[in-house]
Each structure stands twice: as C-alpha cells, then as structure tokens.
Amino acid sequence: MAKTAKATKAVVKTEQVNPYEAMLERFNKAADILKIDERARKILSRPERIVRVNLPVVMDDGSTEVFEAYRVIHSTALGPSKGGIRYSMMVNEDEVMALAAWMTWKCAAVSIPYGGAKGGIKCEPRALSEGEKERLTRAYTAAMANVFGPDSDIPAPDMGTDDRVMAWIVDEYSKLNGNKFIPGVVTGKPLELGGSKGRKEATGRSVMLTTLLALKELLGENPEGLTVAVQGFGNVGSIAAKLLSQRGLKVVAISDRTGGYYNEHGILINQAILYRDQNDGVLEGFKGGEKISNKELLELNVDILIPAAVENVITKENAPHIKARLIVEGANGPTTPQADEILEDKGVWVIPDIIANAGGVTASYFEWVQNRRGHYYTEAEVNDRIDQIIKEAFERMLHKAFRHKVSLRLGAYLSAVERVAKGLELLGKF
C-alpha cells in the first residue's frame, strides 16, 4: 500500500508526456516550416493501421494468462513498414503509435526504402520462462500472420526482445506459409538463420559514429579524454559505451534499471558487460564504480550524455540541471518537447534519436537485402555501408537545421517529413 502511494506521488511530480503527442508536436513544426500539403499532414497525423489483440498463453503452472499486444503501422508510403517489437510492462497503444511514427521518420531520415511500424506486448519479459516467452511469441506471430511479411511489414528486436525471439517468429511465420523458409520476414535474426554480421552492434555503432561526427563538426573538439555518461546498459547503451571507450573517450558512468555506477577514472566497460552477462543481465552489485541513482547520472558534470534506455527521461524538471554539452539519443524519444526547448536555450547540442540510433534499422535493411539476394556480406562491408548512410543522413540533418535556423531534431524531421510527403503525393494518395 505504502509503496503504491509513493510510486503515484513520484509520477505526479514529473512531467506527464503522451509520447504520441510529443511526436506530433515535432511533426507539425516540420510540416509548418515545409508548408506540406494539408492532405499529407492529415494522413501522416494518424497511423495507417492499428492491430490490437489479446493473446491467451498457457503458463508453465497450467494457468492461462491473456496478454495485451499491438502492431501499429504508421506509414507505408516509402516501402514496407519496418520496426521492432517491444516486450515491456510500459507498452500501451499511445506508446506503440509514437514508436511506429518515429520509425517512419527514422527510415526516411536515413533514406532507406521503408515505412514505419512498431509492435508491443505488455508483459514483464524477465518474469517469463523461456517456454512461456516462446509460446507468447508464436501466438503473437500467428495473430499477425496477415500483417507481417517481407514485402509488407518486417519486425525486428526492440526493448525486451532479441535474436532468439526473432528466430521463433521466422519459424512460426514459415509454418503458417506452407513451410517455406522466409527469413526476410524479420531482421535481427541469429547469424545461423540469415542474420547479418554487424546487426547486433549497429545501433550502438551509430551512436558512437554520430557522437564523433558531432564533436568534430559542431563542437570542434578532440574526442580523446572527454567524459561520457550512458543511461541504459542493454544492447544500445553497452555497445555505445564500449565503442566510445575504444576511441579514447572516458565513460565515467553507466546505469540500468538497478541504478547507476560512477567512476571518475572511467568504468572498465568490458568488465561491466561481463558482469552483466553473468548476473541475469543486470548491473546490480557491480563494483567497478560508486553507486548513484539514474537521476544523478543524467545531471552529472560530463561532456556527453547518452540516454539509451526509455522515453521521456529528459524532462522540463531535469533539463535545467543537465551539464553535458552534447546529448546523443540512443533511446527512442528520451527527450520531451519542453526539455528540448530548455536545452536549446542552454546551447546544448542534441543529436536526435532518428539519426543517432538509426544504425540498427539500417543494418536491418542490409540483412533484408542479403536475405532476398541469398548473398551475404562480410562485417566490414556491412559496417562501411551503414557508416556511409549514417554520415550522409547526419549531413542532411545539419544542412536543413542550419538553413532553416532550427534545432538538429527539427532539421532531421524536415528532411524526413519532406521525403514521406513527397512519396504520398507521387503515389497519388491525395
């Protein structure tokens, strides 16, 4: 009882942001500047399709649980829709709608031939056994059999899902389609089943790459010795931390849902990754740094801050206390629109999610291409192609932002929204 009351109080205190409204606010700003056709604005303000299902799953103890699940297709104007599937207790329709739209803007911003989608199942993935997770994933795939498809809608991993989950989707989807092996229906697969070299590291890699580009082109600084704090130590945060420390930056703080760890001399990232992998995927008890809270991590006196966990962590409450000069968004939607304004006034550079973490979906694109061609690239080939695409998208963002004298986020939205609106027009949708 006391615990609930405390939790409610904490929620009331922080800024309440509906992620879909946060997305719309940025989209509308871009649409205003671009003066896009009002019919395009109308179409893009809503998802094309929302599929909501309740999935009954037999649990290990013989009981039956019913799970709330979604797949939202925001746009297919530029190609089949693309986007991950999230397993989390925070999943709800508005969140999945926002995440789906962000995929539309992300794919358009980096100019890969996809629309945007996202899926989600409201569950606590850590509380499920391997068998329960498999049955839930297969039930979800069966329910989405007419939505998913290599030419229509292509899922991938997101929070709470991984290559193992993607393998079950391939198997279930292939079974439902006359036992034809169809690896191109999902990306982020294990290498043995048509996954791509470099896919797992790709999101963290683009965070690293865009950090270095920003240091060089915006701050005019040498990366060597600059300090970094990374929030979130999953696939994105841990790889970004590793790659940045390999390039001479000093990662002084990391965190996950169990809290933060600070070491002014720099955290040994490989040691932290090993510790996490041997401890149920969490950093709890890690001795490589002094314990701090996630809140303290965001406000540390560092050069670079990398939010790589969930939405809405940089808010109007903490934005005034942020000391980093550069924020690189590994997570989707970590900064609220009000926080954006505060950071802009303070002169903090923010590399937006749709550019900074776009390496993941870009690698997914190359995985899908390899599946279709049946020809596989080396890791160096995949990385070179991804780096090239991210660099070009970064330059387009800068160009738009400087030309219109707007934030980098709006610059990225301008190039994305322009492209999608043009696609709709060319298709004759209005």
If the CB atoms of residues 31 and 154 are measured against ligand GLU, the closer one turns out to be: 154
- Token pair for residue 68? 């709330």
Interface residue with ligand GLU, options 75, 81, 104, 187 (CB under 6 A): 187
Min separation Cβ 289 and ligand GLU, Å? 28
Interface residue with ligand GLU, options 84, 160, 330, 333 (CB under 6 A): 84
- Token pair for residue 125? 């993935």
Residue 79 interacting with ligand GLU (CB under 6 A): no
Residue 167 interacting with ligand GLU (CB under 6 A): no
Min separation Cβ 290 and ligand GLU, Å? 32
Min separation Cβ 83 and ligand GLU, Å? 5
Interface residue with ligand GLU, options 229, 361, 390, 401 (CB under 6 A): 361
Residue 364 interacting with ligand GLU (CB under 6 A): yes
**Reduced to 3 states, what is the DSSP secondary structure of residue 428?**
coil
Instruction: Give the dihedral of Cα atoms 407, 114, 174, 167; nearest 10 deg.
Output: -30
Interface residue with ligand GLU, options 31, 156, 408, 421 (CB under 6 A): 156
Stretch that binds ligand GLU, among 78-86, 88-96, 249-257, 322-330 (CB under 6 A): 78-86
- Token pair for residue 69? 């699940």
# of chain residues touching ligand GLU (CB under 6 A) = 12
List, in order, residues 6 or more apart from 97 with CB less than 8 Å away: 19, 20, 47, 50, 72, 74
If the CB atoms of residues 236 and 298 are measured against ligand GLU, the closer one turns out to be: 236
Instruction: Name the helix (H) or strand (E) containing 200.
Output: helix 199-214
Stretch that binds ligand GLU, among 1-9, 141-149, 314-322, 358-366 (CB under 6 A): 358-366
If the CB atoms of residues 261 and 394 are measured against ligand GLU, the closer one turns out to be: 394
C-alpha–C-alpha distance, residues 165 and 156, integer Å: 9
Q: Which amino acid appears at position 138 of this protein? A: R
Interface residue with ligand GLU, options 141, 196, 255, 332 (CB under 6 A): 332
List, in order, residues 6 or more apart from 285 with CB less than 8 Å away: 275, 279
- Token pair for residue 198? 């470099």
- Interface residues for ligand GLU in 101-130 (CB under 6 A)? none
| DSSP label of 167 | H
Min separation Cβ 367 and ligand GLU, Å? 8
Residues recognised as catalytic: 118
Which among 91, 11, 96 has a CA at the least distance from the CA of 47? 96
Cβ atoms of 230 and 306 closer than 8 Å? yes
Interface residue with ligand GLU, options 71, 82, 396, 400 (CB under 6 A): 82
Min separation Cβ 327 and ligand GLU, Å? 18
Stretch that binds ligand GLU, among 248-256, 335-343, 357-365, 371-379 (CB under 6 A): 357-365
**Reduced to 3 states, what is the DSSP secondary structure of residue 368?**
helix
If the CB atoms of residues 98 and 361 are measured against ligand GLU, the closer one turns out to be: 361
If the CB atoms of residues 306 and 361 are measured against ligand GLU, the closer one turns out to be: 361
Q: Which residue is nearest to ligand GLU (CB)?
A: 84
Min separation Cβ 293 and ligand GLU, Å? 26
Min separation Cβ 174 and ligand GLU, Å? 19
Min separation Cβ 207 and ligand GLU, Å? 12
Burial 21-51 (b: 16+ CB within 10 A, else e): ebbbebbebbbebbebeeebbebbeebbbeb
C-alpha–C-alpha distance, residues 361 and 22, integer Å: 22
Instruction: Name the helix (H) or strand (E) containing 119.
Output: strand 115-122
- Token pair for residue 189? 């697969």
Phi, psi (deg, nearest 5) at residue 416: -70, -50
Q: What is the DSSP string of 225-266?
A: T-EEEEE--SHHHHHHHHHHHHTT-EEEEEEETTEEEE-TT-
If the CB atoms of residues 17 and 109 are measured against ligand GLU, the closer one turns out to be: 109
> Applying CB under 6 A, which residues contact ligand GLU?
82-84, 156, 158, 187-188, 332, 357, 360-361, 364
